Structure 1
């Protein structure tokens, strides 16, 4: 293949970004697959993300030894040596303010998304391009696809957002109104600032040149003045205001073909947006695939690469390869013993039997029948919370789709953070723990700050609450309130004899010895006294607390 390094890509305000271009040898025009982001087009996967590289190599030792040297592999983007031989041009662009591209570093900002639009149009007009550009990539490289596709660049022909959020507020940074700090505060210095354009202290080196991948060094003062205060912005914007609205793509403006891939083990970043993007896109040709395992693993597995290529062969090359006949929805149905893939025609599944389980404070059980008496159970907000369990399943039971809880609560303070965790346990009492996108994970999770309990009536559904997050409504201490909690979608075949458990607590759920990444513990957001005190769950009678499950019949 032909490899062109640091190719200039002009954008609308006169700035020039830098890209690496990989294209087939010989004459011809080829479709383009592109990624535009800030992890460094010249940072090798193994250099930037060594633990993930080592794990991937251990899980699949032959993954990068057949048909590729792995020399050009970059974090969360396609391997050019795997794609170019099949007739694609691969373009990887350093976004504004990162790597070799100068400018003000402001991740996922409207200016960055406009740059992406301009880069797509540049690629679509090159002499080696057939005029059709497809986008593909994980996480950062997925969210930006949703955003730029909503701008409708003329040369954009298809997108493959792989595990990437859509709603800047609800999907990633303000779960239930609670600031998701654990990932954000670590991500900014470790994965972004280290790759800021002009960072002479970066640990990254371009393997081709041995030089820093960030271009000529700038002074610390200039670096600081040339970037946004990323974490500070989230703290200054606790509600869904104009700052979030200009960063929230409108999926109804997306009209190109979409292959959206989410991860059941990605509560907190890599699931909700893929489902909402699929449901909300105006595209006539759209597919949803939800898998399990780590997010960097699935993207590179041969079966998924083949799926990605078939999609682009159809919509970038115009091949009649039968992709239109693929099931519009394909799900990995998890179980304690592995998972199986299954095709469906819609999501949520039309045959879903929505089943409400009533919480009982006295027995700590969840059953279809309401408890005989009203009850209440309290826990310390900083403590380990309270569990409600189903009896052992009488038969194999599939739970696939949206999950929610309606709780009656009271607090000894003026607010209350609720962390709802859906868990599964075997007959021997051992917990079912899954390999998630980022960390080992339970069945699913949900969050809500009680002062954000107001729903968005236009977006909420009977089986799925969506909160407005447009005002703060504090609690009167000791008074009871009804709140609805969105627990992220899930899929689980629960065998006979297993139990489902709902854990309610006032802080992040973490397994012993396994600190989570998707934490919510910033002192400016969670350190105030209203998030201490005593929390109470009321059950039965006029204050019935319930868990709504999507049961899939045989």
Structure 2
């Protein structure tokens, strides 16, 4: 399993393949000579377009030699796309008959101006970029936005502004709420993620790619390279510990209702960098034509061949008018058992094979049924509220126990028994398709005025293999729920203020785990682990827990029915042989004795 650091994947670590820039297309550029070798059949042009306020923003466009005007694919990011977008994708789109244009967000790469991380200006400039590209001689005026991670997230903001030339979008590797699913998971500061992205991921890639473009002879860019450094994200996030306009104006969750262009979302539900919260966005899209492709894998699963073929078909239909049937297919495609191979070069499309595919009419699936598993004082999960001997309380000492699902080595270290609680179902009689966001209801008390909860969900096999499925978090003082914005699939916490606990008082805590797309096989059990979050990145998230040590007590009886609710789609069975322990991407596995495969 590959190592993933905090942030939207450490892009600058992929720069060992920078030499590939020397193989990209040649072409004239007004203002400077390009000092590299051309790639036969592809023209390239570097330049700058003007934002609405006159700020010059860097772009690069690739197109088939001598062709035009063409439908145009656009990529817009903070990592240096205006210098070098993912070249494997460039080649694939040009071969498909498109122009491919990429631009850098203001203040990043070779673009002028000041960079405000996840600021509203990104979308405004992006809308100008789309309409500028659509008016160029090499474009036929039809623009499709593509991109993974930040260049996927920003698509929602751009599309919500309705630029004239935008025809379709295909965001991948995105997130739902920038605050609650990114920098403050469940209200808990995701410090490692923010710090690494602010200091290393974004500025590292931005600098390296800008240096490459400057080295090709761009004197304007050369002058801008010196000012690239750590961005202001950490300072901004620290200064704004509650949800609000700064986070909401960039959040796909908030922007989705204003997106009306055809939208294809691509999301790995095991994404180790941003999680699976983006699946909560799909239902909020108002676009009449929308599709969702869900797979398992890493943060760069957008580059998987299966994902790119879906994106290609989507754009062929909406930008070229191909009658390929994509708009008449089921809205949701789920791939299981994806086994990617390593990419030869940075940005190459990765050959992938899936062991099974499942279609759904929508997400969430209309046929979803909810199963309730009630916690007991004996550590069981059962199908009715605890009573009699099963009723009572359990306690654990916070924050002594935690679990790190970053990789097999981390996961082998089990949470301390006295610093955590485990609850387990009996073996299930039938394959159980858990499609959606499980919900936890805890009736609990703390010795302190505040505490943090982390819930991890496991699959326990008959032989004792324990596989990580998913996780969720909540700070107790952020327990307030906005019922008007909550759905069956998502408990909405507004995160507008802290409400301290009264020591020893029993409170109800409701919160959703991140969405799951997993089939629990017959004979396996579900296990819930309740523990403390950890600041150690696992693999990218490292949440700063409250240092308020004390005993937390969980109640289990008819008056305090603590429970786990799981969304189940009936009639779906696991396909193929059972995967070996540790073989699933970003789902580490251990044996119950603590060893790993």
TM-score tier, shorter chain, comes to 0.7 to 0.9
Alignment of 1:132-151 (within 5 A): 132-151=142-161
C-alpha displacement of 1:301: 2.9
2:368 aligns with one of 320, 334, 352: 352
2:527 counterpart (481, 501, 510): 501
Contact 1:422 1:501 in 2 (8 A): yes
Q: What residue number does 1:439 align with?
A: none
* Alpha-carbon distance, 1:358 to partner: 0.3
Q: What's the CA shift for 1:462?
A: 3.9
Corresponding residue number in structure 2 for 1:216:
222
Match of 1:259 among 261, 264, 268: 264
**Contact 1:146 1:166 (8 Å CA) reproduced:** no
Deviation at 1:372, TM superposition (A): 2.1
Which residue number corresponds to residue 364 of structure 1?
379
Distance 1:371 1:93 in 2: 58
- Name structure 1 gaps, 5 residues minimum: 45-71, 433-441
Report if aligned partners of 1:267, 1:445 keep a CA contact under 8 Å in 2: no
| Equivalent in the alignment of 1:288 | 292
Asked if the contact 1:133/1:158 (under 8 Å) is kept, the reply is yes
What secondary structure sits across from 2:156 in the alignment? Answer: helix
Question: Which of the residues 235, 242, 265 maps onto 1:239?
Answer: 242
Picking from 68, 71, 75, the partner of 1:35 is: 75
The answer on 1:7 being equivalent to 2:47 is yes
Contact (CA 8 Å) 1:136, 1:160: kept in 2 or not? yes
Deviation at 1:304, TM superposition (A): 2.3
Q: 1:407 to 1:490 in 2, by over 3 A?
A: same
Structure 2 equivalent of residue 103 of structure 1:
113
1:30-68 Cα offsets, whole Å, 9 max, x none, are: 111111111113776xxxxxxxxxxxxxxxxxxxxxxxx
| Alignment map for 1:458-469 (pairs within 5 Å) | 458-469=484-495
Shift, 1:152, TM fit: 1.0
Query: Which position in structure 2 is the counterpart of 1:410?
Result: 445
Cα displacement (A) at 1:267: 6.6
Query: What does residue 408 of structure 2 align with?
Result: none
Q: Where does 1:271-350 land on structure 2 (aligned, <5 Å)? A: 271-273=276-278, 275-296=279-300, 298-333=301-336, 340-350=356-366
Once the two structures are superposed, residues 187-212 of structure 1 have per-residue CA deviations (whole angstroms, 9 ceiling, x without a partner) of: 1111222345xx6xx59752894689
Structure-2 separation of matches of 1:396 and 1:323: 30
More displaced stretch, 115-124 vs 326-335: 326-335
How big is the alpha-carbon RMSD for the aligned residues of Structure 1 and Structure 2?
2.6
What's the CA shift string for 1:157-182, capped at 9, x where partnerless?
A: 10000111132112211111111122
Judged with a 3 Å threshold, the aligned counterparts in structure 2 of structure 1 residues 397 and 84 are, in CA distance, closer, same or farther, namely same
Residues 331 and 465 from structure 1, CA distance in 2 versus in 1: closer, same or farther, beyond 3 angstroms? same
Partner of 2:58 in structure 1? 18
> Per the alignment, do residues 87 and 218 of structure 1 end up closer, same or farther by CA in structure 2, a change over 3 Å counting?
closer
Q: TM-score, normalised by structure 1?
A: 0.84
Kindly state the Cα deviation for residue 217 of structure 1 after the two structures are TM-superposed.
5.1
Q: CA deviation at 1:8?
A: 1.3
The Cα offsets for residues 272-322 of structure 1, whole Å up to 9 and x where unpaired, read as 12x2332111110001111111232x3233332221111001111112221
Distance in 1 separating the partners of 2:458 and 2:45: 48
Q: How many residues align?
A: 495
Q: 1: distance between equivalents of 2:480 and 2:558? A: 23
Cα drift, residue 246 of structure 1: 3.0
Q: Per-residue deviation at 1:371?
A: 1.9
